[in-house]
Structure 1
Amino acid sequence: MSPRTPDRKRTKVRTDTDLERRKGTRQERASFLILCEGKTEKDYFAGMRSRRGPHIDVDTPKADHLSIVREAVARRSDEYDAVWCVLDTELDETLVSAMTCEAARGSVELGLSTPCFEVWLMMHHEDCTRPFSSANEAKRRLRTLVPGWSEGNTRLPDFLDGVDAACVRARRLDPTGREHLKNPSTNVWQLVLVLEAGA
């Protein structure tokens, strides 16, 4: 009887197709650039950054509304899935028209609030349907809802539990997101939904 030959372990040879199959198991995060006019907006959106969410760059150029939109157009590149400007309408029809035209020309999205971004923040805490005569009036109302809030101290945790409610309330006021001069109104809900989808 001849001695048994030991079993040889089979070694799998890796082929190009195996390597190709292993590539891309991890999806790349979506990337957004948001240009804002003030610290309040910047703090809010910077607070939305998370390890598992989309990549969010937030910047506040020291410029007027129209110049911010033009800068956004100039910074539009393949680096970002979308570029947004978050601005107040100032209840100014001429300004809104100019910003809308400039943004459309450069494929930039607008998140506009009337009269100001604080309307969006308010909607995290209550329905907001009564018109405001000025941005200052809206800010005073927000301070009653969020004691300790100030333009220099906007903390996302003060609003986080109400994000979904704010989207519902804002969308009810302006379902298309295009009635920029309706007082009050904000289409920032569209940006928030885009950021959530990019997570």
Structure 2
Amino acid sequence: MSPRNLRGERNRKKINTETRLDRTRSGTRQERSSFLILCEGKTERDYFIGMRSRRGPQIDVDMPEVDHLSIVREARTRKSDEYSAVWCVLDTELDQSLADDLAREATRAPVELCLSTPCFEVWLIMHHVDCTRPFQSAEEAKKKLKSLIPSWSEGTTRFSDFSHGLEDACHRARKIDPTGREVSKNPSTNAWRLVIELKAGLD
């Protein structure tokens, strides 16, 4: 084979190799788990945005400025094959009828519910301490969280303030509600179910 033909053959092999590598990388991206999380408030939004990582699942987080039931209905319209799962992160606000309505609406969608009683801050508290005493209101739970992390506010939630206690939070929440279905207990949260799914997306 002449030197010119040899160079041509090498170039063809290089092109073929690069093409195979590109296909492999593309395939890896397509297999990456992807989650859509619709949140009620800034605290929840910032927490789950903070869980994003380069090697983890794709996490799309949105905060529609609508009421609880409308968030679940919007999740239904945005559900697609693009996502491994669609979750709505909402507070029960100690309202049993609201919790029941949300469960019915989520079943129609169907989408997954991450519910906290009375509010999502219960889940954040569990990253630091046991949380079993009932709260009279969401504001009381927020004051408790503020006493644990003085720098915390609803507009400045940083996942780094909670990441070290993630396993503890899952353990504490599951101890209160092992099934993740008894969301009316005060306090309680089934956020551990969503977190476990997100962590599974790392595999």
- Does residue 198 of structure 2 align to residue 195 of structure 1? yes
Q: Specify which of 41, 53, 78 is matched with residue 50 of structure 1.
A: 53
2:139 corresponds to which of 136, 139, 157: 136
**Aligned counterpart for 1:38 among listed residues 31, 37, 41:** 41
Partner of 1:3: none
Counterpart in 2 of 1:105?
108
What is the total number of aligned residue pairs between the two structures? 187
Fraction of identical pairs, as percent: 66
Q: RMSD across aligned C-alpha pairs, in angstroms?
A: 2.0
User: Structure 2-normalised TM-score?
Assistant: 0.86
Number of the residue aligned with 1:158: 161
Where in structure 1 are there 5+ consecutive unaligned residues?
1-8, 15-20
Which position in structure 1 is the counterpart of 2:130? 127
Instruction: Classify the secondary structure of the residue corresponding to 1:178.
Output: coil
Hey, what does 1:176 align to over in structure 2? Answer: 179
Once the two structures are superposed, residues 71-100 of structure 1 have per-residue CA deviations (whole angstroms, 9 ceiling, x without a partner) of 001111111110000000011111111111
Distance 1:119 1:33 in 2: 22
Greater than 4 Å deviation, 4+ residue runs: 21-26
The residue aligned with 1:60 is 63
Q: Mind listing any 5+ residue stretches in structure 2 that lack a counterpart?
A: 1-5, 14-19
Structure with the higher helix share, 1 or 2: 2
Deviation at 1:105, TM superposition (A): 1.1
Pair member with larger Rg? 1
